[in-house]
Structure 1
Amino acid sequence: MASSSPTLVRSRIEDGLAYIEIDVDGQSVNTLSTPMIARFEALLDELETSPEIEGVVITSAKTDNFVAGFDIEELQGYEHDPDALRALVKRGQTLMGRLEALRVPVVAAIDGSCLGGGLELALACDARITTENPRSVFGLPEVMLGLIPGGGGTQRLPRQIDLSQALDLILTGRQINAHKALKLGLVDDVVHPGILLDVSRRMVRKLASASPNGTRLGENLEEALNDPVKLAARTPARRLIFSRAREQVLKESGGNYPAPLKALRVIEIGFSEGFDAGLRAEGEAFTELVRSPEARHLMNIFFMRQEVNKDRVVDGRVKPRHVSRLGVLGAGLMGAGIAQVAAYNGTSVRLKDASAPGLGWGMHTIDDLLKKAARRKKITEAQADIALGRIAPTLTYEGFERCELVIEAVFEKQELKQAILAELEALGNTEQIIASNTSTIPITSIAAKSKRPENVLGMHFFSPVHKMPLLEIIRAEKTSPKALATALAYGRELGKTCIVVNDGPGFFTSRVIGAYINEAGWLLQEGGTIEEIDAAMHRFGFPVGPLKLVDEVGMDVALKAADVLQEAFKERWEAPEGLRVLAEQGRKGRKNKRGFYDYASGDSRAPDLSVYEALPGGATRRHIDAETITRRCWLAMLNECAYALDEGIIRSPRDGDIGVIFGLGFPPFRGGIFRHADEVGLGWVVDTLHTLAGQHGERLRPAPILERMAEQGERFYND
C-alpha cells in the first residue's frame, strides 16, 4: 500500500492486516474534511483490490481523540452553494458505504472522543473497540449546531442500538462514556489503552474467521423490512416511539430548533422506506439545515466558545499556580456543588462549614450527586467513592493554609465575607489565592480591608454547579495577573467556559438577569398573569420563564441581589414594590414550597393564585400579549448588557453573548443577545426602547452606547 501524506492519514500493512492511522497535522483533534474524504477514497481503492490483507484496523494518533466530526469551518463555506454541499454529503455517504461493504472486516480502535462524523465512521466498521479512558466519549452532537448527522448516522445508529436510545442520542446531542456505549451495544469491548491495538487485532481475525462474507447491518434491515410479518410486528411500537419522541422534542425546544424534527423524519423514512431512502432524506435535510439561520447562529456560538476557551486574557508569560488542593468555605448548595465538581475532576478538597448539621448536609448532597453520576454510567461506583474520599469535611481552618486556592461560598453579606477573608489571610499563606462566589457584592468592597488584595478575585459559579457550563471570573482593580491566570486555568480544568469580567455591582450576569427579572416583575405588577409572562419568554426560547426562574433561585436571594443593584443604579433602576412584598411574606420559591407556583399541591406547573392578593389589582388580572412581554423583557436585558459593555465590565460582545447563553439561558438559536440585536437592527432597538420608556418608565430608556451605534449605523458584529 502506498504511503499517505502525514498531514491526514498514515497507513501500513503488517502481518496481513492494514492499519489506517488518522492524524490531521497541526490540529489537536482529528476532523473530517474534503481532503480527508479524498484520502480515504484512495485508501479504499487500494484495500478493495488488495489480496494480501485479512482485515483493517482504524486508529488515531491523537491523544484522547479518535475523530471529533466534520470541519465546521468548511461547512460554513457551503452556506450559499447547496449543490456543492449536496455533492459533498453524497460523497461522504458513499465513502461510508464502501467502508461498510469492504470484503474484509474493519475494526475501529478508539481511544478518546468519537463524535459526529467520527462516530459515523466507526459505525460503518464491523466492530468498535474502545478504551476505559474517561475521555473516550461517543455521540452525534450535530443538533447542537443546528444540523443532523450527514454521513449515514441517522440510519446506522438506530440499526446498531435500541431505537429509543438512538433517538435520545441523535435528538439531544448527548454524549455517553465507554461503559454506557458498551451497555447499549454501540461498542464491542472496553479495554485498557495499553492493549487497545492487541484486542482490535484479535477482533479483526475473529471476524475474518467467523464470517468472511457476512451481510452488513443495512442489508439485514432491508431483509426485515421486506418481510411483512416482521414489519407488522415492529411498526406499532415504532410509531409509538416516534410519536413520544416528537412530543418530547416540541416540549423541550418549543419548535424553535428545526434539526431534531428533521432528524426524526429522516429516521422514520429510513425505517419505512429503506436504508437508501433514509440516506437520501438525510442528505437533503442536512443540506437544507446548513443554510438555516439557526445553524448559522449555533455554529457561530461554537467558534465563539472555542475562542473564549483559548483566550489567554493575561500575558502569556504569567504562569498560573497549579491547584492540587482546594479550600471551599460554606457547605450549602453552592459550596457543596463547587466541592463536588472539584473532587470529581481530581482535586483534593477541604470543605468547611460553620455548623456540623450544615457540613453534614453538604456532604450528603455531594454523595448523592456522585452516586447519581455512577447510576448514569458517567463514572463507576469505585470512582464515585474515590471522588468522595478526596473531600475532607471540617469545622475548622485546619489544612486550609496548604490550599493554593480557596473559594468562599457563604451568605451574601459583605461583613461576613470580609471577616472570612481576614481569617484566611491570618493563616499565613502569602501566595494563597482567595476567590468569592458572590453574585452581586463588588470584589473591591470585599477586599477593602485585605492585607493582600492582589490575591483576591471573584469566581461566580452558577447553580447547579455540576450542570451549568459558565464560570464568571471577576477581576478587581488590584487583582494580580497571577491570581487571574490561576483562576482561569483552574476553571477550565473543571470543564467550565470562563468569561473574565471587571468588578462592579452585580458584575455582568447578575445585573443582566436582574434587569430581566425586574421587568417581568413590573409586568406582573401591572396586572399580567404568571402563566402568560413565563409562557411568552419560554416561547421566545428561554428554558424557563423569569418568574419560574425566581422560584428556582429563591425569592430571598433574588431580593438581596435586587437591593444591591437598585442601590448601585438608583438613578435608572426602578423596582416593582410587588416583588418585595412577596419576598417579605416569607416566599422563598421551591426551597420552602412558597413562590409563584403551587408547590404545596404537588403540581408545580400551576401558579399560586394567592400571589395576586399581594399585588395591585388583586385577583383581577389583565391580558398582556406575548409580543409585548417578550419585547419588554429581552430589551431590558439587552439594555443592561449595553451598559455593561460601555462601562468596560465585559470586554466584548462575544463575552457578553457567551455569558447570557451559557449562564442565563438566552436562546442559543438566536445567536446571543448582541447578535440578535444586530439582526433586528439597532435603529429599531433604540426607537422601541424610547417608546417603552415613555410608556413604562426611565429604566427602559436606551443606553447611550445603543443610541451612538444606531446613529452611526454600527453593529456589534461585523462578520
Structure 2
Amino acid sequence: MQRGRGIFCGCASAFGLTTGLYGWNVMAAQPTDRLARLTFADRLARIEIDVPNQSLNTLSTAMIKEVETIFDELDERLDLEGVLVTSAKPGNFVAGFDIEELQGYEHDPDGLIALVQRGQALMSRVERLPIPVVAVIDGGCLGGGLELALACDARIAARGERTLFGLPEVMLGLIPGGGGTQRLPRQIDLSQALDLILTGRQIDGRKALKLGLIDDLVHPGILLDVAREKAREIHRRRARPASLSENLEEAFSDPVKLAARTPARKVIFSRAREQVLKQSGGNYPAPLKAIDVIETGFSHGLQAGLEAEGEAFIELVRSPVAKNLMNIFFMRQAVNKDRVVDGRVKPRQITRLGVLGAGLMGAGIAQIAAYKGTNLRLKDHSNQGLGWGMNYINNLLQQAHRRKKLSEAQADIALGRIAPTLTYQGFERCDLVIEAVFEDRELKQSILADIEALGHEDLIFASNTSTIPIKEIARKSKRPENVLGMHFFSPVHKMPLLEIIRTDATSNKALATVLAYGRRLGKTCIVVDDGPGFFTSRVLGAYINEAGWILQEGGRIEEIDAAMHRFGFPLGPLKLVDEVGFDVVLKAGGVLQEAFRARWDAPEALRRLADEGRQGRKNGRGFYTYQHDASAPDESVYGALPGGDTRRHIDPDIITQRCWLAMLNECAYALDEGILRSPRDGDIGVIFGLGFPPFRGGIFRHADEVGIGRVVDSLHTLAGQFGTRLRPAPLLETMAEHQERFYAE
C-alpha cells in the first residue's frame, strides 16, 4: 500500500493518478448497438464482447442488459459443456464501468441503487450458471472486467505486456461495486487482495498466475484452445461425484474458511487500516470502506458482503471526494487530447535526441527517453559528471528490471540507446536538444548559441529551466521560433507532469512537435506562456515564501509542516525545502522577487539559514536532522532566526489558510496574465506537479467549493494581519463582485 513520492525542483509528488491505472472509459455505447455476440460450436458457447466505436470494452447499463439477454438463452441450453467469455478487441478484455454514465447518477439515487443491484445480480448469475464459464483474457482486465472474470469458473490469460489485472476503483474515490471486494479475497490470499483493492495497482499475467488469480498463462496463439479444454475439464469433473479426499482438500484450501479460523485475520485488517490512515491521512474514505466490506464478507458471508459493498459503493459515488477524483480523470483526459495549436500543423517526428547536462534532471530525462525508445546523446562537461549520470540511468533501468517492467535484455538495449559524450559531435543530427544545466541565464544563452552554430536549421531547442524566462534565454537566438521550454519534474521517471513553455516567437510547428514528444514519453503536458517562474514554479514559490514568513514570525517547523500535511500535501513546505535544497529554492525565489517586487516580499529566514551553510538533505543540514531521525526538526535552526529559540504556537488553520491562499492568489495572477490557459490546466499542474491534494479536486475547484467571496474576504483579513503580499489578486476580487466561479456548476 506504499505510495511513492517525488520531488521536482522542490515539489512533492501528486497522488499518482495515471490514466493507465484507472481501467475505465468514458465513451458510452449507443443502446441500439450490439455490444456482445453469442455463437455456438462443438457444444461450447462463446460470448464475444465488442463495444462499437471504442478502443476498449466497457461495462454499462446497455451492456448489462445485453448480457442478461444472452444468459436467458444460456439458461435453456443445458446440453452445453461450457461458455467462453472473450473480447473482439485485441489487447483488451473489459476495462471497467463507464464513468460518464456513473456520474449521471449523482442526482438519481434510486437509479444508482438499481444499477448496482442489477450489476451484482448479473455477476452472481454468471457465477451460478450450471455450465462452466471460462474468461478468455487477452489484454487489460480491469475494474468491472476483472469482477466479471472473477465470477467465472476459470480464467485463462494470454502472455504479453498488455495483459494486466487490477481493481482501480479506489483511484476514483470508489470501491469495486460488482462483487470484487468479495470474490478477490476468496480467490487469492487476503493480504494480497487487500493490497490490490486498496492501492488500485495493476499486476501482469505472471504475478496473477503466481497469486492464483488466473488458472493458466499461455501463448496467445493457443489461448482459445486451452480455454476450451479448461471448460470441458470442469464439465467432466462436475459430471462425476467428488471423492471424500477431494471434498476435504477443497475445504482446507478455501481461503475464506482458513482465514475465518485464524486470529491473524483481525491483525491483517487492523494493519491495513493503520497503513491506509498513515498514507491518506483519512482524506480518502474509499480504502477504509473497502476494508469494512471485505471484513463483513469474511465475518457474515458472501451475501452480507455483497450488500455491504453495494451500500458503500452507492455512498461513495455521491461523495465529494469521488466527484473530485472523477473530475480530475476527465480533466486529464481532456488535457491529453488537447491539440493546443491548429490541427493542420503536423508535428515532426523526434528520432534523435540530445540532452545537455548529466545531473539529476538531465540523466532523468535521458533515462525516460531511452526507456521509451529514443536514441540520444548525453553531454556533460566532465567525465565524472557523465559517469554519475550513466550510473544513475543504469540504476533506474535495473530497478525497472527488478520490478518486472523490463527484461534484462530490454534494460541493456535501453542503456545502449544513450551515447555519452563530452563534445557536441553528433548533436547536429538531433531533432530536439533539451538543456538541463545549472540555473544560470548566461550559461544557457551560451549553450543555445553553441547548438545553433551546428547549423541544423530545424533543430528545436528546449530549456529545462524552472524560473528563467525562455525569451531571456533566446534573446540572442538566430532561430527563436525553434526555442521553448520543457520543464520536467523530479524524479523524472515518477512525476507525470511536463510544463511546456512557449514564447511569442515560438512556432506552432515547434510547439506541436514538443507536445507530441512529451506525450510519447508518457507525460501529461500543460502548455503555458512565458514569464518568470512560468506557472508551477511561481505558485510553488508563493507557497514556500508564506511558510518562510510563518517560521520567521515564531512558528515551529513541525507545526507548519503538519498543518499542510493535514491539508493533504505529501510533504510540508519546510520539509520540501530540505528535499530540494536551500540553494535551489533561494535561486528561484530571487528570480520571482525581482520579477514581482511590487507585491512579493521575502522573509530573511531562508537566507540566514543558507548563510550558515545549510543546504537541506544534500548535506545533512536543514530544517530536519538527518543523522538518526529525518522526522525530527533541528532545533538549532531557531538560533539564526528573528526571535531566536522563543517559539510560539500558531493556529494550524491560520497556517493552512495562509499557505494555500498564497498559492491560489498566485494562480489567479497567472491566469489573469495569460500565463495559464485555463483553470483546468492550472488544476492539472498543481496536482500532478506540486502535490496539491487530489481529493480537493484542484486549487481552482477547491476555491469554487469554498466560495470566491469567502476567499477574497479571507485574503483581505490575512493581508491586514500579515502583509500586503496576501491582498487578493484583481481577478479574484472581480469574480467575487460578480459571484463568478472558475468552473460552471
Does TM-score exceed 0.5, indicating one fold? Answer: yes
Task: Give CA-to-partner distance per residue, 1:278-299, whole Å, 9 cap, x none.
Answer: 1110000001111111111111
Question: Would the alpha carbon gap of residues 134 and 348 (structure 1) be closer, same or farther in structure 2, given more than 3 Å must change?
Answer: farther
The aligned runs of 1:129-140 (5 Å cut-off) are: 129-140=156-167
Question: Would the alpha carbon gap of residues 268 and 225 (structure 1) be closer, same or farther in structure 2, given more than 3 Å must change?
Answer: farther
**1:712 equivalent in structure 2:** 738
Task: Give CA-to-partner distance per residue, 1:375-417, whole Å, 9 cap, x none.
Answer: 2222333322222222222222222222222211111111111
Question: Would the alpha carbon gap of residues 673 and 361 (structure 1) be closer, same or farther in structure 2, given more than 3 Å must change?
Answer: same
**2:53 equivalent in structure 1:** 26
Task: Give CA-to-partner distance per residue, 1:657-681, whole Å, 9 cap, x none.
Answer: 1111111111111111111111111
Alpha-carbon distance in structure 2 between the residues aligned to 1:239 and 1:109 = 35
1:80, CA displacement in angstroms? 2.2
Question: Would the alpha carbon gap of residues 180 and 405 (structure 1) be closer, same or farther in structure 2, given more than 3 Å must change?
Answer: farther
Alpha-carbon distance in structure 2 between the residues aligned to 1:126 and 1:277 = 22
Alpha-carbon distance in structure 1 between the residues aligned to 2:250 and 2:677 = 56
Alpha-carbon distance in structure 1 between the residues aligned to 2:209 and 2:528 = 43
1:154, CA displacement in angstroms? 0.5
* Mapped contact 2:187–2:255 kept (Cα < 8 A): no
Query: Which of residues 55, 64, 67 is equivalent to 2:82?
Result: 55
The aligned runs of 1:512-661 (5 Å cut-off) are: 512-600=539-627, 602-661=628-687
Other structure's SS at 1:25 match: coil
Alpha-carbon distance in structure 2 between the residues aligned to 1:30 and 1:564 = 50
**2:701 equivalent in structure 1:** 675
**1:323 equivalent in structure 2:** 350
Alpha-carbon distance in structure 1 between the residues aligned to 2:623 and 2:439 = 23
Q: Which amino acid aligns with 1:475?
A: R
**Structure having greater relative contact order (Cα 8 Å, sep ≥ 6):** 2
Question: Would the alpha carbon gap of residues 206 and 318 (structure 1) be closer, same or farther in structure 2, given more than 3 Å must change?
Answer: farther
Other structure's SS at 1:393 match: strand
Query: Which of residues 108, 117, 120 is equivalent to 2:147?
Result: 120
Q: Which amino acid aligns with 1:95?
A: L
Alpha-carbon distance in structure 2 between the residues aligned to 1:499 and 1:514 = 19
Extract unaligned runs of 5+ from structure 1. none
* Mapped contact 1:55–1:104 kept (Cα < 8 A): yes
Q: Which amino acid aligns with 1:644?
A: A
1:162, CA displacement in angstroms? 1.9
Other structure's SS at 1:360 match: helix
Alpha-carbon distance in structure 1 between the residues aligned to 2:254 and 2:458 = 72
Instruction: Say whether 1:406 aligns with 2:437.
Output: no
Query: Which of residues 256, 264, 270 is equivalent to 1:237?
Result: 264
1:613, CA displacement in angstroms? 1.3
Query: Which of residues 665, 668, 690 is equivalent to 2:691?
Result: 665
Q: Which amino acid aligns with 2:295?
A: E
**2:725 equivalent in structure 1:** 699
Q: Which amino acid aligns with 1:649?
A: I
Other structure's SS at 1:410 match: coil
Q: How many residues align?
A: 711
Task: Give CA-to-partner distance per residue, 1:597-651, whole Å, 9 cap, x none.
Answer: 1112x21011111111111111111000110000000000000000000000111
1:19, CA displacement in angstroms? 2.1
Q: Which amino acid aligns with 2:620?
A: K
Q: Which amino acid aligns with 2:107?
A: H
1:434, CA displacement in angstroms? 1.5
Extract unaligned runs of 5+ from structure 2. 1-30
Query: Which of residues 29, 38, 42 is equivalent to 2:69?
Result: 42
**1:424 equivalent in structure 2:** 451
* Mapped contact 2:260–2:299 kept (Cα < 8 A): no
Question: Would the alpha carbon gap of residues 700 and 474 (structure 1) be closer, same or farther in structure 2, given more than 3 Å must change?
Answer: same
* Mapped contact 2:567–2:656 kept (Cα < 8 A): yes
Task: Give CA-to-partner distance per residue, 1:200-233, whole Å, 9 cap, x none.
Answer: 3343344444455899xxx999967999994664
Q: Which amino acid aligns with 1:679?
A: E
Other structure's SS at 1:28 match: coil
Other structure's SS at 2:539 match: helix
Q: Which amino acid aligns with 1:572?
A: R
Alpha-carbon distance in structure 2 between the residues aligned to 1:179 and 1:563 = 52
**1:485 equivalent in structure 2:** 512
* Mapped contact 1:330–1:408 kept (Cα < 8 A): yes
Q: What value does the CA root-mean-square deviation take over the aligned residues? A: 2.2
Other structure's SS at 1:430 match: coil
Q: Could you tell which deviates more after superposition, 483-492 or 128-137?
A: 128-137
Other structure's SS at 1:370 match: helix
1:127, CA displacement in angstroms? 2.6
* Mapped contact 1:224–1:231 kept (Cα < 8 A): no
* Mapped contact 2:358–2:379 kept (Cα < 8 A): yes
Alpha-carbon distance in structure 1 between the residues aligned to 2:284 and 2:59 = 25
* Mapped contact 2:186–2:256 kept (Cα < 8 A): no
**1:445 equivalent in structure 2:** 472
* Mapped contact 1:177–1:378 kept (Cα < 8 A): no
The aligned runs of 1:298-447 (5 Å cut-off) are: 298-447=325-474
**1:255 equivalent in structure 2:** 282
* Mapped contact 2:355–2:378 kept (Cα < 8 A): yes
Question: Would the alpha carbon gap of residues 528 and 102 (structure 1) be closer, same or farther in structure 2, given more than 3 Å must change?
Answer: same
Q: Which amino acid aligns with 1:709?
A: M
Instruction: Say whether 1:472 aligns with 2:499.
Output: yes
TM-score by length of 2: 0.92
Q: Which amino acid aligns with 2:340?
A: V
**2:293 equivalent in structure 1:** 266
Q: Could you tell which deviates more after superposition, 622-631 or 154-163?
A: 154-163
* Mapped contact 1:105–1:212 kept (Cα < 8 A): no
Question: Would the alpha carbon gap of residues 382 and 445 (structure 1) be closer, same or farther in structure 2, given more than 3 Å must change?
Answer: same
Q: Which amino acid aligns with 2:428?
A: E
**2:123 equivalent in structure 1:** 96
* Mapped contact 1:225–1:231 kept (Cα < 8 A): no
* Mapped contact 1:100–1:126 kept (Cα < 8 A): yes
Q: Which amino acid aligns with 2:635?
A: L
1:549, CA displacement in angstroms? 1.2
* Mapped contact 1:180–1:377 kept (Cα < 8 A): no
1:356, CA displacement in angstroms? 1.1
Task: Give CA-to-partner distance per residue, 1:50-94, whole Å, 9 cap, x none.
Answer: 245322222222343222211111111112222221221111111
* Mapped contact 1:158–1:167 kept (Cα < 8 A): yes
